[in-house]
Amino acid sequence: MGSPTIQLSAPATPYWRSPDSSVTLLQGDCLERLAELPADSVDVIFADPPYFLSNGGTTCKSGRRVSVDKGAWDRSLGVDDNHAFNRAWLSACQRVLTPNGTMWVSGTSHVIHSVGFGMQQLGFKLLNEITWEKPNPPP
């Protein structure tokens, strides 16, 4: 397939690399990691962006009240700011994705429509929406 060799800066130490080095997983702030990659260098992107659901709420798990707050990275700053963030990371992905590359994005109904709209605004071709129905998801 002839993909270019990707040189990573020190902070982007690979989280995991396949034995033949054809697959590399990076962990970190997506905007920082994507900025380090050359244009047109990534064949597949799987993204699981923030759902913006952390609001200090609680739920019941195993009979106990537990926090559903994932942290500041998952707190909504409002619809406009959420969409601006989605556009920013989608644009960064678009820059590194090869012309025939594929992008998969997971999300809840709270965020996935913003992501889809952002993709359309950026000129992505949307092929399918896949629903993963979890009959008994954890809170």
Contacts of 123 (CB under 8 A, 6+ apart): 94
Amino acid at 22: S
DSSP 8-state secondary structure symbol assigned to residue 99? E
Exposed, middle or buried by CB within 10 Å (0-12, 13-18, 19+), for 135?
A: exposed
pLDDT of residue 139: 59
| 42-47 and 97-105 strand pairing | parallel
Of the options 3.30.300.30, 3.40.50.300, 3.10.20.30, 3.40.50.150, the CATH number for the domain spanning 10-121: 3.40.50.150
Nearest in space to 4 (alpha carbons), one of 43, 47, 45: 43
pLDDT digits (tens, 9 = 90+) for 14-55: 889 999 988 888 888 899 999 999 999 999 999 999 988 888
pLDDT above 70 as % of the chain? 90
Residue spans per domain, the chain: 10-121
- Give 46's strand partners: 104
pLDDT of residue 1: 42
